[in-house]
Chains A and B, each alone.
Chain A
C-alpha cells in the first residue's frame, strides 16, 4: 500500500480541479458536495489501508519514504516531492482526512443554498491537499509548501463571506479578519523560513531523516539548535495561535462554521504541534527552547481559558477554548511529552470538531444568531445536537472515561512529573476554567427557558449535519481508549505506536519514570475533582440565573471587564504595533520614501532625459547643409586624428 501514498494527496487535488473548474456549471449542489466529500473520503480509505498494513509490520520497519519526483535540483541542493509515511504522519493523515471527510459531509447541509457553494468545496479540497502535504512531507520545504497552502486556504475561507460585516478591534469586514490571520501568520512563517535556512546551513540537507541523523552527533545545549528550534517554534506560534501570535484565531470565526471546525480547531492549527513533534529530536537538544515552549503553552492555556469565561458569542468561546487546548499541547511538547501532545491533537480534533459543528447546527437553527444570551432551551428542539454537544463538552472538560480525560490528564501528569509544580498548577487552573466555561455555554445555549425572539423557529438540522455530529461524538467518547495510561491497567497503545518516532528525542532527554503510582493516582483524582467542580459551578450558576454574568461583572468589576475585553490584547497590539506601523507607512514610507525617493528617482530620470532631449533636438534644423557641415567637420576631425597621431 505504501506506494499508493501519492493517491492520498491526489484525490483532493482531483476534487479541487473538478469543483474549481466545473463547479459553477454543475448546478446540482449535492453533486458538488459529493465530489468534494468523496475526494477526501477516498484519501481516508487509502490512508486507512496503509495504516492497517503498518499494523502488520515490525515496529522498526514502519517508516517509509516514497519519492514521487525531484522537485528542485541545484548543485548539491536537492529537494524531492517525497512523502514520509511513519507512525506520526499516518496518524495525522487519518485525523485530517477522517475528520475532514465528516466536515465535508456536514458542509453539504450547512452551506445549502449558499451562492458560493462550489467555491466553498473547492477551497476545502485545496485545504485538505495542502494539509496532507504538510503532514506527509519528508522535507522542510515541502512541509513549508503545505504550511503556506493551509495559510492561504485559511485566508480564503475566513473571508469566504467577503461582503459580510464582522465587528472587532480594527476590523469591520470578514475580509479584515482574513487579512489579520494572514498577516499574523506571515510573522510566524518568516521565522519558520529563517529556521529552515539555518537547518540547511547546519546540516546541508532539508530532509527530516538526514537532519535527524545529523542531530544525533550534536551535544545538548548547542547554540545553533537553540536558534533553529526557537525560530521554528515562533513559526508554530503563528500557525497554532500561541502567545504572542494567537490574536488571529478568535477573529477567524468570521468564516463559515465548518471552516472553524476543520481549519481553526481540528487540523490546521495543530500543524504547529505536529511540526514541533516532527522535530522532537532537535528540540531535545535545546532544553532552553523546550522550557520556552512549555511556558508559552501553559500561559496560553490559562490566558485563553480565562478569556473564554467571559465571552458571549458561541463561536468565540469555542475559539478561545481552542487556543487554550493548543496551549495544553505545547505544554506537553515543552516538557518532552510528545506523545501526549499528539494524543491531545487527536482527541481535540474529535471533540472540538464536534463542538464547532454543533455550534454551527445551533447557529443554523437560530438563523445566524450567535449570542448565547439569546438562546436557551434548545435541548428540546434539537436533541441530537444537544446530546452530541454535551458529550463533547464532557470530553473537553476531562470527564472520565471520555477521550479528553485521558489526553488532558496525560499532559497534566507529564507537566507535573517532567516539568514542574508551577506548570501543573497553571494547567490545572486552566482545566477548571475549561470545565466552567464549557458548561456555562452548554447551560446558556441548551438548558433553561428559551430566551430567543418570538419570530425565531429553531429546528433540528438535517441528517447530513447530524450524522457527522453523532460520529464525532462517538469518537470523542472512544478516542481516548487508545491512550489509557499504564497505571489504569491500559496499554497506552498510542505511546507504543509513536515510540519509534520519538525514540531519538527521548534518548537525548534521558527521561525516566521517577514518580510513584500513588502520585499519579492522586493527580488523576485531582483532575477529576477539578472537572466536576467546573461542571457543577458552570451548570448551577447559569441554570439558576442565565444573567449571572451581570452579577459577576458587578461584583468583580475590573477583572470581568479585563476578561470580556480579552485582556485588551487586541487594543495593545493595535496601539503598539498596528497603528505605529500604519502611521509610519502612511507618513514616511508612503509620502516620503515612496513618493519622494522612489517615484522621485524614476520621475527624475524621465524628466532629465526629457530635458536633455528637448535641448538636443534643436540640432535638427531641417536644413540639409547643416547636417552636411557636421559630416564634414566629423570627417576633418577623424582625418586629423589619423594623420597627426
Chain B
C-alpha cells in the first residue's frame, strides 16, 4: 500500500508546475494545458483522500470536476480561436490593450 502523502506530494508538484506554467508561458494553448494540469492535480488529491478515508464523495467530485473541465475546455478553445482570428497570434503578451 502506497502511503497517502506520496500522492499528495505528486499532486502538489503537479499543481505547482501548473501554476508556474500559467504564470510564465506566453502561448495561450500551453497556459490552457497548465490549467488542466492544476485541475487534474486536484482530482488526484480527491481520489487519494477518498481511498484513504474510505469516503466515495471525493470520487464523485472528480466526475464533476472532469465534466466542468470539459465544458471549460470547449469555451476556452473557442476563445483562443476567436483571439487568433482577430490578432493572428496566441501570444498573450500581445493581448494587453485593457490597461491604463
Name A618's contact: one of B23, B95, B97, B100 (CB within 8 Å).
B100
Q: Which residues of A contact B22 (CB under 8 A)?
A: 625, 628
- Neighbouring B residues of A624 by C-beta, 8 Å: 92, 95
B85 → A minimal CB distance (Å): 19
Docked complex Cα distance between A622 and B23 (Å): 14
Q: Measured between C-beta atoms, what is the minimum distance from B100 to chain A in Å?
A: 4
The count of chain A contact residues (Cβ–Cβ below 8 Å) is 11
Q: Cβ of B71 < 8 Å from any Cβ of A?
A: no
Tell me, yes or no, whether A632 is within 8 Å of chain B by CB.
yes
Q: How distant is the Cα of A620 from the Cα of B92 in the complex, in angstroms? A: 15
**Interface size (B, Cβ < 8 Å)?**
12
CB pair B19 A620 closer than 8 Å: no
Name the distance in Å between B88's Cβ and chain A's nearest Cβ: 19
Can you list, as one digit per residue, whether each of B78-97 has a CB less than 8 Å from chain A (1) or not (0)? 00000000000000110111
Q: Which residue of B lies closest to A632 (CB)?
A: B19
Q: Are A623 and B93 in contact (CB under 8 A)?
A: yes
Q: How far is the CA of A622 from the CA of B24 in the complex (A)?
A: 15
Q: Is the CB of B100 within 8 A of A625?
A: no
A628 with B100, Cβ < 8 A, contacts A623-B92, A623-B93 known:
no
Kindly provide the distance from the CB of B73 to the nearest chain A CB, expressed in whole angstroms: 18
Is the Cβ of A621 less than 8 Å from the Cβ of B96?
Answer: yes
Chain A CB within 8 A of B53 CB? no
Residues of A within 8 A of B93 (CB): 623
Chain B residues whose C-beta falls within 8 Å of the C-beta of A618 in the assembled complex:
100
Choose one: A617, A625, A629, A632; the contact of B92 (CB below 8 Å): A625
With CB as the reference atom, state the residue of chain A lying closest to B100: A617
Whole-angstrom CA separation of A150 from B77 in the bound complex: 80
Bits for B1-45, please: 1 = Cβ < 8 Å to A, else 0: 000000000000000000100111000000000000000000000
B100 touches A620 (CB 8 A): yes
Could you tell me if B23 and A629 are in contact, using CB atoms closer than 8 angstroms? yes
How many Å from the CB of A628 to the closest CB on chain B?
Answer: 6
| A residues less than 8 Å from B99 (CB atoms) | 620-623
Contacts of A620 in B (CB 8 A): 98-100
Min distance, Cβ B17 to any Cβ of chain A, angstroms: 13
Look across to chain B and name the residue whose beta carbon is closest to the beta carbon of A635. B19
Chain A residues within 8 Å of B95, by CB = 624
Q: How far is the CA of A274 from the CA of B35 in the complex (A)?
A: 90
Q: Within 8 Å CB of A623, what residues of B?
A: 92-93, 96, 99
Q: Which residue of B lies closest to A617 (CB)?
A: B100
Q: Which residues of B contact A629 (CB under 8 A)?
A: 23
B24: A residues at CB distance < 8 A: 625
A595-618 CB contacts (< 8 Å) to partner B: 617-618
CB atoms of A632 and B23 under 8 A apart: yes
Please name the residue on chain A nearest to B24 by beta carbon. A625
Enumerate A542-562 residues with CB–CB distance to B below 8 Å: none
CB distance from B53 to the nearest CB of A (A): 21
Of A622, A628, A632, the contact of B96 (CB 8 Å cutoff): A622
Query: Could you tell me if A622 and B92 are in contact, using CB atoms closer than 8 angstroms?
Result: no
Question: Shortest distance in angstroms between A624's beta carbon and chain B's nearest beta carbon?
Answer: 6
In whole angstroms, what is the CA distance A622 to B92 when docked? 10
Chain B CB within 10 A, most for which of A618, A620, A622, A629: A622
CA distance A620 to B23 in the complex (A): 16
Q: Are B97 and A625 in contact (CB under 8 A)?
A: no
Q: Which residue of B lies closest to A621 (CB)?
A: B99
CB pair B23–A625 under 8 Å, yes or no, is yes
Query: A168: shortest Cβ distance to chain B, in Å?
Result: 62
Interface string of A615-645 (1 = CB under 8 A from B): 0011011111100110010000000000000
A618 to B100, CA, bound (A): 7
Q: From B97, which residue of chain A is reached at the shortest CB distance?
A: A622
B100: chain A residues at CB < 8 Å are 617-618, 620, 622
Nearest CB of chain A from residue B82's CB, rounded to whole Å:
16
Shortest distance between the CB of B96 and any CB in chain A (Å): 4
Given the complex, which residues of B lie within 8 Å of A625, measured CB to CB? 22-24, 92
Which residues does chain B contribute within 8 Å of A628, judged by CB atoms?
22-23
**Min CB distance, A627 to chain B, in Å?**
10
Could you tell me the distance in whole angstroms from the C-beta of B44 to the nearest C-beta in chain A?
A: 19
List the B residue with the shortest CB-CB distance to A616.
Answer: B100
**A621 to chain B: which residues have CB within 8 Å?**
96, 99
A617-B98 Cα distance, complex, nearest whole Å: 12
* A618–B99 CA distance with the chains assembled, in angstroms: 8
User: When chains A and B are docked, how far (Å) is the Cα of A629 from the Cα of B22?
Assistant: 9
Residues on A with beta carbons closer than 8 Å to the beta carbon of B98: 620, 622
Chain A, Cβ-Cβ closest to B94: A623
Chain B residue numbers with a CB within 8 Å of A617 are 100
A360 to chain B, nearest CB (A): 73
Instruction: Give min CB distance, B91 to chain A, whole Å.
Output: 11
A318 to B93, CA, bound (A): 90
Q: In the complex, what distance in Å separates the CA atom of A105 from the CA atom of B9?
A: 105
A632 to B21, CA, bound (A): 12
A205 CA to B22 CA, complexed, in Å: 77
Within 8 A of B (CB), among A271-312: none
CB 8 Å contact bits of A303-325 with B (1 = contact, 0 = none): 00000000000000000000000
A–B Cβ pairs within 8 angstroms, 11 of them: A618-B100, A622-B98, A622-B100, A623-B92, A623-B99, A624-B95, A625-B23, A625-B24, A628-B22, A628-B23, A632-B23
The 8 closest A-B pairs by CB, nearest first: A622-B99, A622-B96, A617-B100, A622-B98, A623-B96, A620-B99, A629-B23, A625-B23
New contact pairs (7) apart from A625-B22, A625-B23, CB-CB < 8 Å: A617-B100, A618-B100, A621-B96, A622-B97, A623-B96, A625-B24, A625-B92
